[in-house]
Amino acid sequence: MAGHSKWANIKHRKGAQDKKRAKVFTRILKEIHIAVKEGNDTDPDTNPKLRLAIQNAKGANIPKDTIKRAIHKASGADSENYENVSYEGYLPHGVAVFVEASTGNIQRTVANVRSVFNRSGGSLGTNGSLEFIFDHKGVFTLSRKELGERNREELELQLIEAGAEEVEKTEELWVITTAFEDFGPFQNKLENLGIETRSSELERIPNSTVTLKLDEARKILEAIDRFEEDDDVQNVFHNLEMTDELEIALQSEDD
């Protein structure tokens, strides 16, 4: 159940983002911007954070010219400075929410985040209040096609030796979870193996979930969508259990 919950929550979030392609582009291009500014380096060979952001951009099919423009813009003296911030709180029925944002105006961002909590019947909490609910993990998504003709059993053993805690497999993907401190070394291992990721991110994985009735769960997901619609918000993590009933309902809406 725990593994299913982790993958289902990640899958829902990424699925929602896939529907909002412009939002995905904005989020990843901002990651590139921040990587250039923080590292003061436009060379991905010497700026690991930028290299990772570029890989995620490629995984999202962002054009090379768009990536180059983002790097050039970020290196300009008049480019905007972003600050990474996070917010924690609860939505109705005890659903915990962790919001990560990158902003040039913290007052605006915290006001917007608080507004979504309040409008949804929830409340913004203090930083650190949800540490016991979410584990900070590395999550690597690999396309089965990218694995090519490799011996899958041998590869999985190599990945486990490199720090993989879980390897969840679907028809199209391998989703690999690592400890937070193993994120960088595991990324290096994939590079050494010549494997490009579809995405490589630090996720907040819930270690316990809340199961709700369908109508209650829908309202929670509507609130999650409102968080994600904010331009400053990069990621939203929650511990709502993505039940089979809820998955089917969401799928029917997509169709």
* pLDDT tens digits for range 130-172: 989 999 999 999 998 888 888 989 999 999 999 999 999 888 8
Sequence-distant (≥ 6) Cβ neighbours of residue 201 within 8 angstroms: 56, 138, 139, 235
Q: What is the pLDDT of residue 38?
A: 85
Q: What is the pLDDT of residue 3?
A: 37
Q: What is the pLDDT of residue 17?
A: 46
Domains and CATH numbers, the chain: 2-74 (1.10.10.200), 83-133+208-242 (3.30.70.980), 135-206 (3.30.70.980)
Q: What is the pLDDT of residue 81?
A: 84
Residue 79 has pLDDT above 80, yes or no: no
Give the C-alpha distances (Å, rounded to integers) separating 15 from 79, 233, 247.
31, 16, 11
Strands, sheet with 173-179, edge to edge from the N-terminal-most edge strand: 164-169, 173-179, 134-143, 199-206
As a whole-number percent, the residues of the chain with pLDDT over 90 amount to 50
Buried b / exposed e across 237-255, counting CB within 10 Å, b at 16+? bbbbbbbeebeeebeeeee
Residue 185 has pLDDT above 50, yes or no: yes
Give the C-alpha distances (Å, rounded to integers) separating 228 from 4, 160, 236, 255.
23, 33, 7, 22
Q: What is the mean pLDDT of residues 5-13?
A: 49
Residue 15 has pLDDT above 90, yes or no: no
Q: What is the pLDDT of residue 125?
A: 94
**pLDDT by residue (tens digit) across 28-48?**
888 899 889 888 889 988 988
Q: Where are the beta strands (DSSP E) in 132-182?
A: 134-143, 164-169, 173-179
Residue 227 has pLDDT above 70, yes or no: yes
CB-based contact 62:90 (threshold 8 Å): no
CB-based contact 192:124 (threshold 8 Å): no
Q: What is the mean pLDDT of residues 184-200?
A: 90
Q: What is the pLDDT of residue 102?
A: 92
Residue 14 has pLDDT above 60, yes or no: no
Phi–psi pair at 80, nearest 5 degrees: -70, 145
Q: What is the mean pLDDT of residues 53-70?
A: 88
Q: What is the mean pLDDT of residues 62-84?
A: 86
Phi–psi pair at 196, nearest 5 degrees: -90, 135
CB-based contact 64:99 (threshold 8 Å): no
Give the separation between CA 236 and CA 184, rounded to whole angstroms: 22
Give the separation between CA 3 and CA 148, rounded to whole angstroms: 26
| 62: its two tokens | 């962002």
DSSP, collapsed to helix, strand or coil, labels residue 104 as: coil
Q: What is the pLDDT of residue 75?
A: 85
Mean pLDDT, the chain, rounded, equals 86
Q: What is the pLDDT of residue 224?
A: 93
**Identity of the residue numbered 213:** K
Give first-to-last CA distance, the chain, whole Å: 27
